[in-house]
Amino acid sequence: MVHLLRKQMFSIFIRLYCSAIILPQICICSQFSMPSSDPRAFPVATNGEPFPWHELRLPKMVIPLHYDLFVHPNLTSLDFVASEMIEVLVREATEFIILHSKDLEIINATLHSEEDLRYRKPGKKLNVLSYPAYQQIALLVPEKLMADLRYYVTIDFQAKLADHFEGFYKSTYRTLGGETRTVAVTDFEPTDARMAFPCFDEPSFKANFSIKIRRESGHIALSNMPKVKTIELEGGLLEDHFETTVKMSTYLVAYIVCDFKFVSGTTSSGIKVSIYASPDKWSQTHYALEASLKLLDFYEQYFDINYPLPKLDLVAIPDFVSGAMENWGLITYRETSLLFDPKTSSASDKLWVTRVIAHELAHQWFGNLVTMEWWNDIWLNEGFATYMELISVSATYPELQFEDYFLGVCFEVIKRDSLNSSHPISNQAETPTQIQEMFDTVSYNKGACILNMLKDFLNGEKFQKGIIHYLKKFSYRNAKNDDLWSSLSNGCLEGDFTSGGFCYSDSKTISNTLTFPGENVEVKEMMTTWTLQKGIPLVVVSQEGHSLRLRQEPFLSWVFEEDPGWRALQERYLWHIPLTYSTSSSNVVHRHILKSKTDTLDLPEKTSWVKFNVDLNGYYIVHYEGHGWDQLITQLNQNHTLFRPKDRIGLIHDVFQLVSAGRLTLDKALDLTHYLQHETSVLALLKGLEYLESFYHMMDRRNISDVTENLKHYLLRYFKPVIDKQSWSDEGSIRDRMLRSALLKLTCHLNHAPCIRKATELFSQWTESNGKLNIPTDVLKIVYSVGAQTTAGWNYLLEQYELSMSGAEKNKILYALSTSKHQEKLMKLIELGMEGKVIKAQDLAGLLHAIARNPQGQQLAWNFVRENWTHLLKKFDLDSFAMRFIISGTTSHFSSKDELQEVKLFFDSLKAQGSHLDIFQIVLETITKNIKWMEKNLPTLRTWLQVKI
User: Which residues make up each annotated binding site for Zn(2+)?
Assistant: 359, 363, 382
Tell me the longest C-alpha to C-alpha distance in the chain: 96
Looking from the CA of 78 toward its CB, the CA atoms found within 13 Å total 10
Residue 548, beta-bridge partner list: 543, 601
Element (H, E) at 274: strand 272-277
Give me the phi and psi of 501, to 5 degrees please: 90, 10
Nearest to 578 by CA among 614, 606, 609, 608: 614
SS3 content of the chain, % helix, strand, coil (to 5): 45, 20, 30
Q: How far apart are CA 621 and CA 536, in angstroms?
A: 8
> β-pairing, 547-555 with 536-544?
antiparallel
Length of the chain counted residue by residue: 949
CA distance 188 to 386: 20
Given a contact cutoff of 8 angstroms between Cβ atoms, the answer to whether 35 and 42 are in contact is: yes
DSSP string over 28-64: --S--PPPPSSGGGS-B-TTSSBPS---SSPPSSEEE
Strands 136-145 and 370-372: unpaired
In sequence order, what are the residues at sequence separation of 6 or more whose Cβ sits closer than 8 angstroms to the Cβ of residue 562? Answer: none
Q: In b/e form, how buried is each residue of 380-404, taking b as 16+ CB within 10 angstroms?
A: bbbbbbbbbbbbbbebbbeebbbbb
Chain centroid to CA 499: 44
Rounded to an integer, what distance in angstroms lies between the CA atom of residue 458 and that of residue 470?
15
Judge contact between 543 and 628, C-beta under 8 A: yes
Contacts of 109 (CB under 8 A, 6+ apart): 125, 126, 128, 139, 153, 154, 155, 156
Q: What is the CA radius of gyration of the chain?
A: 29
Element (DSSP H or E) covering residue 114? helix 114-118
Q: Write down the number of H helices and E strands in the chain.
A: 31, 33
Catalytic option among 290, 360, 389, 693: 360
Distance of CA 334 to the CA centre of its chain: 13
Closest CA to 53 of 89, 91, 96, 86: 96
Q: Are 791 and 798 in contact (CB under 8 A)?
A: no
Please name the residue ranges forming H helices in 397-480.
Answer: 402-417, 432-437, 441, 447-458, 460-473
- Is 116 exposed, middle or buried, given 0-12, 13-18 or 19+ CB atoms closer than 10 A? middle
The one-letter amino acid at 786: V
Phi, psi of 632 (to 5 degrees): -70, -40
Report whether 468 contacts 391 (CB < 8 A): no
Phi (first) and psi of residue 98, to 5 degrees:
-105, 130
Give the closest residue to 106 by CA, choosing from 85, 130, 134: 130
CB atoms within 10 A of CB 605: 9
Query: Is 360 one of the annotated active-site residues of the chain?
Result: yes
Whole-angstrom Cα distance, residue 554 to residue 897?
27
Q: Which of 43, 924, 879, 45 is nearest to 429 (CA)?
A: 879
- Residue 54 CA to residue 58 CA, distance in Å, equals 9
Catalytic residue list: 360
